[in-house]
Every structure is written in structure tokens, then in C-alpha cells.
Structure 1
Amino acid sequence: MSRQVLAPPRPLDPAKFRDPVTTAKGERRATVALRGLQTLWVNTGTLCNIACRNCYIESSPKNDALAYISAAEIRAFLDEAASLGAPLREVGFTGGEPFLNRELPEMLRDVLGRGLSALVLTNAMKPMMNHAGALLALREEFGDRLTMRVSLDHHEAAMHDLERGEGSFAKTLEGLVWLARHDFRIHVAGRAAFGGGDDAAMRQGYAALFSAHRIPVDASDPVALMLFPEMDAATDVPEITEACWGILGKSPDSLMCASARMVVKRRGAERPAVLACTLLAYDPRFELGATLAEASRPVALNHPHCATFCVLGGAACSR
């Protein structure tokens, strides 16, 4: 049998994703209104202890384009959400590696102390373990309202290490096992493309790994084990029009930007900014203001990631 050769992806049409109101074909571009702020994301800073081959935000040990945000700055946004009467239920922390920000435990305590849930996206390596004592105290006091989502790109070391560096799988697995041993609520994030499109086989592989190491994650649960689509803004994808909602049988309320915003602090900035999306930290078109109130306006789906990740890929960063 001859070997199938896949055609390379088509480059993005430069006429697409330019106008926030209309598409390249002159159709009305889809927008998403904020129906209620349920999830507030915080980028703790883009510095990371490792450099992955394909990081959507280009995190590395040298990239500090997004500076460390402080606990006091996040407290101000939590206070604003409360004063606005926002239906906030969860605060998610991403990076970079969030545990490189030394004020993360204080931020978590503030969030959890308000009766909210907290979600931390981590590689579960040394930076996390440097905060082991603080994490155990939070787990003891707040229980399952704290969720640790660990990035494990594949259930086999070779594939994971291809993306994140030799030996990284073993270190992340060690952190996962530590979290499991201490009864933390754990989720795992993998990469769908690493499975060659075979979602069932990927989940079976993860299930075997979790079982072997007594990690209490249900691999069949798409929230407990999220397999994210790959994102390449240079690859051609369709623009999302107002007509797409009916064609796809999808509601704009199901997208992340209908219920979430993200706070970042740019290097050299006097104060943080609020963005429409966790995936578009560097695109000025998705910076909505300095406050949650300013950031409550609708979002035009004017980026390839809007199509690939959210509308067509069906992915979501929060629970």
C-alpha cells in the first residue's frame, strides 16, 4: 500500500480578518456579546521555566512581554467584579508558568476566600513544587474549589518531550503523582493533533497512564482531560459570519468571550489591561480597556484563532 502524502496547509488569505465589521467576502462578521462575566482569567506573566516548540503565547525563560502581575492588582479586579454584580464563579491563572510568580499563592487565597473557584494551568514541574507548602495549606482549607490543570501533551514520554524538551515528561508526571497523592482536584490538558485525529485512542492511552500511576482523572471526560486543537494563525481558515451560527447550529453564548475576560500586565505598563481572550494576548484589537466595565462590550471574531479554536474547534479554556 502506498504511503499517503498530506498536502501542506494553505497560507492564510491576507484579505481575511482585517475589518472588524465585514469579512473579505463583504459579509457581516460575527460578534459575541458578554452575557455575564463568569470566568476571569489572569496571565501571571509570560516567563516560563521551559521553552516549548509551539507555544501559542511564546512563553520561555526569556520572554517577559507580559510582566508579573501583583496580588494587589488582581484584588482590584475582584473588587470591581463584586461591585458590578458580575456572576463571577471562577478565576483561572495561566502564563507562562504561573508558579514563577511568587504572589500566586496570595492571589489564590484571595480568590478562594471570596467563595470563588480557582483554576491553575501549570506544567507541574519545579516552580510548582517550590510552593508545595502553600498549596497543601490551600488544599486543606478550600478543598476541591482549587483545580490544577496540568499540561501533559501526550501519554507517551517521547511525544511530550518532543514538544517540551527531553526529560520534561518525567518531571511533569512526578508533579502529577504528587498532586494525586495529596488529593488535589486534577485536570489534564493534551494536544489533539498528537493523536493523529484518533481521539478515542488518545484517551485510552491517557487512561492507561492515569491508572498505572493512580492519578484520579477520568480520561473519557472532555473537561477533566481536554485535548486542545493546534493553532496556527498563518494557516487559511474560514471567517465566521453572522450566518454561521445557523449553519453550524451553534450559539454565540457558547464561546469563551461570551462569559470570560483576561487580565494582563504588559512590560513597562503602569497598570494592567483587560483582553477579550486568553489566546490573543499580543493583538491590540482584542484589548478592551483598563477595567472590567470598559471590557464588557461585544467582541468581533476577527482572528483565525476565533475560527480554529473556538467556533470550529469547539474548545474552551475554562470548565
Structure 2
Amino acid sequence: MPDASAPLIKFSDPRVTAKGETRASVGFDTLKTLWFNTGTLCNIECKNCYILSSPTNDALVYLTEADVVSYLDEIDALGFGPIEIGFTGGEPFMNPDMVRLMEVSLKRGHDVLVLTNAMKPMMRPRVQAGLLGLQARFSDQIEMRLSLDHYTRAYHDEERGAGGFDATLEGLTWLSDHGFTLSAAGRSLWSETDAEARDGFKALFETVGADIPSEDPSRLVIFPEMDESGDPPEITVDCWGILNKNPDDIMCASQRMVIKRRGAERASVVACTLLPYEDEFELAQTLEESLKPVRLNHKYCAQFCVLGGASCSA
């Protein structure tokens, strides 16, 4: 028989914490952003990639146009649109259908946010031509968010590999020269204040002539680091009042992500962008069935969302 006196393990029970307190959950409010993970393959392998993207990891396979359209149809049927459609990966432009996935979303009237490292996959002539065609037709609906871990070459390349900083700046400059609405995402991995980070990025953006207002947290997102070895507290129902937090502001109140696992017959919906591999957070195959409360039973829920105050969408 199990030892009743043995201590509970944190983040092990979806209903109660290790201290026996009622675990917090987030109810669904309204759909603001639907993310599509276009696949976990990436042209680079970052040192601290939470989703383990790499040139060889295809645990999440490429989404097809049919996959995306089925969920766009659900958005229409449920009366949510137009909303923000986010594309993430891996590197989205590794997916050969990426430009078409953007187009079918834009034609429905949705805003499109693409998270990209702006490196070689995006800079292929065929992709560039496709992006310029979309920009000519839907410029006010497209936002390209570039992954720039730090505003210095040394720290960025420490995370992403030698040459990554220069390659991303080349892509940033190309997007800027062609009038794309731009934003950027960095990390709070290094010992500096938020103000210091924003000042550093401001100087970088001014150097390359990119219109990214670093003081705007929706245009320069500084993500808290998701530390696998960290030991954050569990979030209880009482924490909302203690922390003066509104659960409707947490990502899973208004966002979902579509993934397709290798070997799966069809795509499915997970609670958020951070937990694509956790079975507990895979909610349903349809969007409608996924719109239910989510229990905050993972350290990322505490580190990134509740205590970190971050969101993958603006």
C-alpha cells in the first residue's frame, strides 16, 4: 500500500497542490488568438528551446492547408472571428506551405502573427516573393515577430549558435525595408533590468532602421526564462487575490494552439503554446471541445504566465 505519510509531489495532482490546497484553474473567456504550431523542425537548435526544436525533431509534423482550414471553419461557425492567428514552430518557414497558411487566414479577415528567426528559411527567393505578395494585399493584417534573444551578438549567438545574430539582422533589415509591421521577442536570461534590456534593443533597432518601439511591451516582448530546474510555487485558488491577478488575463483564458503529432491521423488542440508535449494539456481534436477550464498543473503555468506575467500574444 502507498505510504499515506509520504509528501505529495508538486505539480503531480491536477486538483490539489503538494500542500493539499485547491489548485487554481483558468476558465475559458473568449478566443482572442488561435496558434498553429507549423511543426517542430527548425534550421537551428537553440540551447534553451522549451519545445526542443531542431533540424531533426519532427515530433510535431508540418500542418497542412487542410488542417488549418478546418479550424478556421470552426472559428467562423462559433462566431469568434476575426481574431489573431499566430504561427509558431520550430521555424514556421521550414513548412513548405507556410505562405499559403498565412494567405488562407488573411483572406478570412484574421490578423496574422508569425514568430520567426528570419534566417535562411524565410530568406529563400520563393518565400520572399510570397511574403511580398501578401504584404501588397494584406499589409495592415500582418505582423512579423523576430526571435532576438539579446541585442548583442555574443549573447544571442551563445543561445542560437555562431552567425545567428547576423543572419537574423539580415532578415530583419529585409522585412523593414519592405514595410512589414515588426515586433521582436527577447529573453530575460541575462542579469539585467527590463529597462536596460529595452534600451539595448532600442539602440539595435535604431542602428538597422527597424521601426520597433522598444518601450511597447506588445512590440518588444521580454519573455521570462522557463527553467526546467526551477522550483516555482504552485498556484492555488487563493493566489488570484494575493497576487492581484485576474485569471481572464492568463493565456489559456483566451488562447489555444493546434498541433499535429507524428503518426496522428489529425491535428488536435492544446491549452497553450508552452506545453505541446504534455498529455494533460491536450484538450480535444476540435476547437469547440477544447474551450474548457485548464488546471494550472505545470511549473510553466507559474513561471511564465502567472508569476512571469507573460503571454505569447499581445
Interval containing the TM-score (normalised by the shorter chain): over 0.9
Map of 2:4 onto structure 1: none
One-letter amino acid matched to 2:131? L
Structure 2 distance, partners of 1:291, 1:219, is 37
Q: Aligned partners of 2:198 and 2:231: how far apart in 1?
A: 29
Code of the residue aligned with 1:34 in structure 2: it is F
Q: How does 1:296-307 map to 2 (within 5 A)?
A: 296-307=291-302
Q: Which residue of 1 aligns with 2:202?
A: 207
Report the counterpart of residue 311 of structure 1 in structure 2: 306
Task: Give distance in 2, aligned partners of 1:199 and 1:145.
Answer: 29
Distance 2:159 2:8 in 1: 29
Q: Which amino acid aligns with 1:209?
A: L
Quick check: 1:258 aligned with 2:227?
A: no
1:48 aligns with 2:30: no
Q: Note if 1:175 corresponds to 2:171.
A: yes
The partner residue of 1:242 within 220, 223, 237 is 237
Distance in 2 of aligned mates of 1:105 and 1:35:
30
* One-letter amino acid matched to 1:171: A
Q: Which of 97, 100, 111 is the matching residue for 2:91?
A: 97
Give a deviation string over 1:218-253, Cα, whole Å, max 9, x none: 011111111101002332110000000000001000
1:226 equivalent to 2:184? Answer: no
**Residue range with higher mean Cα deviation, 84-93 or 47-56:** 84-93
Show the counterpart of 2:128: 132
1:73 aligns to 2:103 (yes or no): no
Which stretch of the first structure deviates more once superposed, 82-91 or 126-135?
82-91
Is the contact made by 1:152 and 1:190 (CA closer than 8 Å) also made in structure 2? yes
SS at match of 1:193: coil
For 1:266, give the aligned amino acid. R
Shift of 1:86: 2.3
Q: Distance in 1 between matches of 2:81 and 2:192?
A: 36
After TM superposition, give the deviation of residue 303 of structure 1 in Å.
Answer: 0.2
CA contact (8 A) 1:119 1:148 kept: yes
- Matching residue's letter, 1:291: T
Count of residue pairs brought into register by the alignment: 306
2:3 is aligned to none
- Structure 2: which amino acid aligns with 1:143? S
The answer on whether the counterparts of 1:32 and 1:299 sit within 8 Å (CA) in structure 2 is yes
Aligned-pair identity in percent equals 55
Q: What is the CA–CA distance in structure 2 between the aligned matches of 1:204 and 1:316, rounded to whole Å?
A: 21
TM-align CA RMSD: 1.1
**Deviation beyond 4 Å, 4+ runs, structure 1:** none
Post-superposition shift, 1:144? 2.4
1:293 paired residue among 276, 288, 292: 288
Letter matched to residue 98 of structure 1: P
Is structure 2 residue 151 aligned with structure 1 residue 155? Answer: yes
Q: Over residues 42-92 of structure 1, what are the superposed CA-to-partner deviations in whole Å (9 max), with x where a residue is unaligned?
A: 000000000110100000000000000101111000001110112551000
Alpha-carbon separation, structure 1, partners of 2:61 and 2:25: 30
Partners of 2:221 and 2:110 in 1: how far apart? 22
**Structure 1 residues 23 and 88: CA distance shift in structure 2, 3 A:** farther
Q: 1:22-43, CA deviations, whole angstroms, 9 ceiling, x for partnerless residues?
A: 1111111110111111110000
1:263-278 map, 5 Å: 263-278=258-273
CA contact (8 A) 1:45 1:96 kept: yes
Deviations 1:130-180 (CA, angstroms, capped at 9, x unpaired): 210000011110012100000011111010000000011000000000000
Task: Provide the secondary structure at the position in 2 that maps to 1:74.
Answer: helix
- Could you tell me the TM-score, scaled by structure 1's length? 0.94
Contact 1:160 1:169 in 2 (8 A): yes
- Measured in 1, the distance between the counterparts of 2:17 and 2:81 equals 33
Distance 1:197 1:20 in 2: 35
Letter in structure 2 aligned against 1:224: R
Question: How far apart in 2 are the matches of 1:299 and 1:88?
Answer: 24
Contact 1:91 1:116 in 2 (8 A): yes
Does residue 1:84 correspond to 2:78, yes or no?
yes
